[in-house]
Amino acid sequence: MNRPELPLVVEPDALQQYIGNPAILIVDLSKPGIYAQYHVPGAVHLDYAEIITTRPPVMGLLPDAAALGKTLSTLGITPNHHVVAYDEEGGAKACRFLWTLDVVGHPHHSLLNGGLHAWLNEHHVTNNQEPTTNSSSYTVTSTAAAQVDKAYILANLDNPSLVLLDTRSEAEYNGTDKRANRGGHIPGAINVDWARTTDWSNMRLRPEAELRSMYEVLGVTRDKEIIAYCQTHHRSSHTYWVLRSLGYPNVKGYPGAWSEWGNSPDTPVE
């Protein structure tokens, strides 16, 4: 396959020219009813539930390697495909999928900037036909990259080269919106609500210079290891991808997130 080189965040106009290219596999994470009504031509549908698992009260965990391999194979993804993901509600579901691809070491993938919202508003062609998918044999050998666990964070709470980035709302961060046994945040974490990165009038990411300034003024800089978390690593997956697109070389997600930390009796809380 003659695979084109696409940026980590691709614009609708740029993707339009590659519709039908067999080296590009477009994955739609919209609600099933919306996908059935209209989607980017050739896009395959992925149910968000297929890429997460739970062990209550801990939510938003990764399925095991075998389950992930089966999901990717069902979509027809091969290691040579460039995957472009989108959804209908701001990009967090698509980014969780892209983070998952990073975790398993898939080398080529992008976010459609603005998702289905931008695609429709800019009058790009859609259809309601479900493409014929040729299943692949995608083998996942490791799920160690791009993620950390509770033990890693506990061991690095005083590490000056590491930044914990809490992407929840300010109310969740300060504990007034309590969604676990305990409210608050991981000690030392910096709060940047994930929603601040998006222009909600068009669902696109805000300009690069604005995003850089937003993070750097708070000490979230590219020389640090950045660990993003929220409640279930849904919103923080979006922030993870934003930072990746800004060239941050060492960004990771904490999939257990506050659903694990806030419900654990052995973790410190601010």
CA distance 239 to 41: 27
First CA to last CA distance, the chain: 51
Q: What is the pLDDT along the chain (270 residues), one digit of tens a residue?
A: 678 889 999 999 999 999 999 999 999 999 999 999 999 999 999 999 999 999 999 999 999 999 999 999 999 999 999 999 999 999 999 999 999 999 999 999 999 999 999 999 999 999 999 998 899 999 999 888 899 999 999 999 999 999 999 999 999 999 999 999 999 999 999 999 999 999 999 999 999 999 999 999 999 999 999 999 999 999 999 999 999 999 999 999 999 999 999 999 999 999
Please report how many Cα atoms fall inside a 13 Å half-sphere around the Cα of residue 34, on the Cβ side: 15
CA distance 166 to 174: 11
Same domain for 112 and 168? no
At 1 the pLDDT is 63
Residue 267 lies in a domain: no
Beta strands in the chain (DSSP E): 9-10, 24-28, 44-45, 53-55, 58-61, 82-86, 109-112, 162-166, 190-191, 198-199, 204-205, 225-229, 251-253
Taking a C-beta distance cutoff of 8 angstroms, is the pair 70, 58 a contact?
no
CA distance 75 to 130: 12
Residue 185 lies in a domain: yes
CA distance 173 to 170: 5
At 114 the pLDDT is 98
Rounded alpha-carbon distances, angstroms, from residue 78 to 24, 85, 149 = 10, 15, 28
- Give the catalytic positions in this structure: 230
Same domain for 97 and 191? no
Q: Identify the domain containing residue 49 by its residue range.
A: 9-121
* CATH number, domain containing residue 172: 3.40.250.10
Same domain for 161 and 221? yes
> What is the value of pTM for the model shown?
0.97
Same domain for 87 and 181? no
At 203 the pLDDT is 95
* Total tally of structural domains belonging to the chain: 2
